[in-house]
Amino acid sequence: MTSKNWNIKLRERVAIAVFTSASLYVAGCGGGKPEAVVPKAAAPKVVEKTVDAPAPKVTFVEVTEASGLKFIHENGFEGEKLLPETMGSGVAVLDYDSDGLCDLFFVNGSTWKEAGIEPKPPGGKPEVLPQRTGTPHKTQALFRNAGNGKFEEVTEKAGLAQIQFGQGVTVGDFDNDGDPDLVVTGLDFVRLYRNDGGKFADISKEAGITAGKGWYTSAAFFDLENDGDLDLFICNYVQWSAEFDRAQDFQLAGTGSGRAYGPPTAFPGSYCLLYRNEGGKFADISERAGIRIKTPGLGVPFAKSLGVAPQDVNGDGLVDLAVANDTVPNFLFMNKGDGIFEEVGVSCGVALDQSGSARGAMGIDWGDFSNDEALALAIGNFANEMTALYVADDRKSGLFTDRAAVYGLGAPTQPPLKFGLFFFDYDLDGRLDLLSTNGHLESDITKVQASQTYPQSAQLFRNTGKLGRELFRLMSKDDIGPDLLKPIVGRGSACFDMDNDGDLDVIMTENGGPARLWRNDMAESRKSVRLKLVGSKSNRDGLGATIVATLPDKVLMHQHFTARSYLSSLDPVVTIGLGESDKLPKLDITWPSGKKQTLTDIPAGKVVQVKEPE
């Protein structure tokens, strides 16, 4: 299959970047044993009143050291500047031991020697990254939430102490046994770790995951046929080898710093992968499904993919896939049924910017930020390219318009280099806010562009509910405290409720540096309901279930997926902000199987386990 015609203006770039996104308000892994709720009668639908209420006092407090979370990323850097060193790695939120607390898994890189590539540092001796404040982890890492604000490393005990040049991660119960499983991607590998009661085993080969050579980045579990088990989509970046990279003469002009990281435009494209779950064994159906996109007129691999976000875009009950591409047009794969997809990114308006140019897209997420059940797709882009906010004209037309500038995201998001990005309701007012994790590739970038820095501040945009340029307002240290805004070389990011207090905390990874954890401290008594979905005929995780929450003054719509942001997997429990309300009046769920369920008068402050009706 070939991509539709597209108009792209190639532009000069000093280096590459990455970014991924997320969906609605997702929170903690659970608060002990969830409470079951019995379906009740329906309540009338209400449309939100557009009111710009004062922002509640919320402070994000860094608790990395206090929590015992000690993870320093290894990116292989010794001074030679090979492109994979820039990408960072993802983080996954999961309850691996089913104790109702959110645990954290960190993907890690490796030294080049450990990756089977002999390093050639300039001058014969390794250099050190400025953000590296300690010894990097040797392996990927799993940290168990001990329930008292502390995390303890359990990597070896859990069977995950593996050295590999990793990139991304996604979480899903592929065998429907109640334990969350892991897929980890990286340079020339995709690995499936089956979770058996808190102990993981690499079963990639026996499960049919034989990805082979490639630069695999973000991944997503979803049910492409609604047959009750999870299928797997894998992003593939560029065709890369150390030999090809070293043969190029990349320079950061005017710095005298020697070699620079090369742009993705210098490397050939690739093919993404799609695996269908056939009862615990996976079959590669990429070709048949229409996922292997070729460059128009040339017939060579086209994708340079870094982020993926599943979503039923047109409301037909089938999951579609939005894919963020770096320097080539983004993809929108529409699910036509029978395992077939059609790529319509350009014709639907989500592939390019308003001038017809492709951008350096990384992080990606879907969300209903306007509380009118209209979808929006947010994509974080390279430095000097604003974040995209593609808003659906309506679900039937399938057309989107980039309204980032119209809704306040244009100018503030233009300067930074954006990676992890996701929607979440940080202040529990029932509206989706947006968080962007930022950081450059080149430590000497300020010598070329005075406006750019290597470490960069994250950006939190509060949704005011006021349509227009004041809709998304950038939060300052006066609004949320200084900790979250401390500049880092940010990459992967996720939100979750680490302490089961009902609000959403934030975790970020730093390229070649330490992961950081921020606790959400809310001064006001805002409330939420958290939902743990359990499928019966549908997949066990309830991925793809559509949730419509009706509050007195607004309607919230969310389709449940954890594959969001950049290289990362977010909280498997859905969090619905209620503001000052003591209960959620009405909740409608449409399961992937097509079954519908209505719950009413759900009390605030609860983790509610919702089981799909038999």
pLDDT of residue 373: 79
Mean pLDDT of the region 367-385: 95
Give the whole-angstrom CA distance, residue 589 versus residue 610: 10
Which residue blocks in 47-179 are alpha helix, DSSP H? Answer: 64-67
d(CA 249, CA 262): 8
Q: Which residues is 169 bridged to in the sheet?
A: 184
Does residue 8 have a pLDDT over 80? no
473-506: per-residue pLDDT in tens? Answer: 999 999 999 999 999 999 999 999 999 999 999 9
**Coil, helix or strand for 83?**
helix
Indicate if the pLDDT at residue 11 is higher than 60. Answer: no
What secondary structure does DSSP assign to 562-579, as a single string? Answer: -EEBTTEE--SEEEEEEE
The Cα diameter of the chain in Å comes to 73
Task: Give the integer Cα–Cα distance in Å for 335 and 332.
Answer: 10
In this structure, the strands spanning 35-36 and 607-611 are: parallel
Query: How far apart are the two ends of the chain, measured CA to CA in Å?
Result: 39
Report the relative pairing of strands 573-579 and 26-27 from DSSP bridges: antiparallel
Q: Kindly report the pTM of this predicted structure.
A: 0.92
Coil, strand or helix: which one is 561? coil
Beta carbons within 8 Å of 576's beta carbon, 6+ residues apart: 25, 425, 430, 528, 529, 530, 531, 547, 549, 556, 558, 584, 587
Rounded CA separation 490/460 (Å): 14
User: What pLDDT does residue 396 have?
Assistant: 74
- DSSP-derived letter for residue 455 is B
Question: Is a pLDDT exceeding 80 seen at residue 520?
Answer: yes
Tokens 């140019």: give the residue: 357
Reported in sequence order, the residue ranges of 298-417 that DSSP labels E, i.e. its strands, are: 305-311, 320-325, 331-337, 340-343, 364-367, 376-379, 388-394, 399-402
Dist. CA 374–CA 398, nearest whole Å: 11
d(CA 411, CA 424): 21
Strand partners, 186: 166, 189
Task: Read off the pLDDT of residues 194-233 as tens digits, 9 standing for 90 and up.
Answer: 999 999 999 999 999 999 999 999 999 999 999 999 999 9
pLDDT band at 258; cut points 50, 70, 90: confident
pLDDT at 153: 99
Residue 475 near residue 460 (C-beta atoms within 8 A): yes
**Which residues on neighbouring strands pair with residue 400, listed in sequence order?**
392
Are 3 and 291 contacting, i.e. CB atoms less than 8 angstroms apart?
no
pLDDT of residue 24 exceeding 60: no
Specify the pLDDT at position 53.
Answer: 64
Give which of 335, 410, 365, 325 is closest to 25, Cα–Cα: 365
Average pLDDT estimate for 123-148? 89
Q: What is the pLDDT of residues 304-362, one digit of tens each?
A: 999 999 999 999 999 999 999 999 999 999 999 999 999 999 999 999 999 999 999 99
- Summarised one tens digit per residue, pLDDT across range 431-450 is 999 999 999 999 999 988 99
User: What is d(CA 573, CA 522) in angstroms, rounded to the nearest whole number?
Assistant: 20
